[in-house]
Amino acid sequence: MPLFSRLTALSHVLEKHATLPVRISRPEEAPGLYIWPWRLEEDARVRNSPLPRLPGDDPQVRVPAPVIHFLILSSTSLDGETIAALESARLALLETPIFEAGNGRVSVAPATLDSRDLNDLFTAAAIPLRLCLAYTLRSTA
């Protein structure tokens, strides 16, 4: 399943509950929530065993999709509306941890980033630190 269709489905889940616009991008200063995919993690089965390619075969159908690590970030404003939007996004993902995306299903799970990793991530991307939620998005069978 294409990566962007999984992220788009995620944004639709959040848009149903969030009180601010939801975008798939690096965070900007405009008010809203930002889904920022920052890492793709390949399934161990893909790394450890080469899959044969058959003529006319679509490898995307047989190869497990990578896990997407993403953050849900707010604008740098920490007003009540922004914090409420982050809370509504968190509750939406708790209520809907599995949903349809394209021709399959995906699941969202909280991810753990310690303060050092989070600081390194923001510093490397030249993004000012801000309130965020960390999750992973993976295809389900």
Q: Which domains does the chain have, with CATH numbers?
A: 3-41+64-140 (3.30.2000)
Which residues sit opposite 139 in a β-bridge?
Answer: 106
Task: Give the whole-number percent of the chain exceeding pLDDT 90.
Answer: 57
Do the Cβ atoms of 136 and 109 come closer than 8 Å?
Answer: yes
CA–CA dist 29, 57 (Å, integer):
44
Residue 51 has a pLDDT of: 58
Contacts of 25-30 with CB under 8 Å at 24 or more apart are 26/125, 26/127, 27/73, 27/74, 27/75, 27/76, 27/127, 27/130, 28/75, 29/75, 29/76, 30/75
The lowest-confidence range among 41-50, 98-107, 113-122, 127-136 is 41-50
pLDDT digits (tens, 9 = 90+) for 27-72: 887 888 999 999 999 876 655 666 556 666 655 555 778 999 999 9
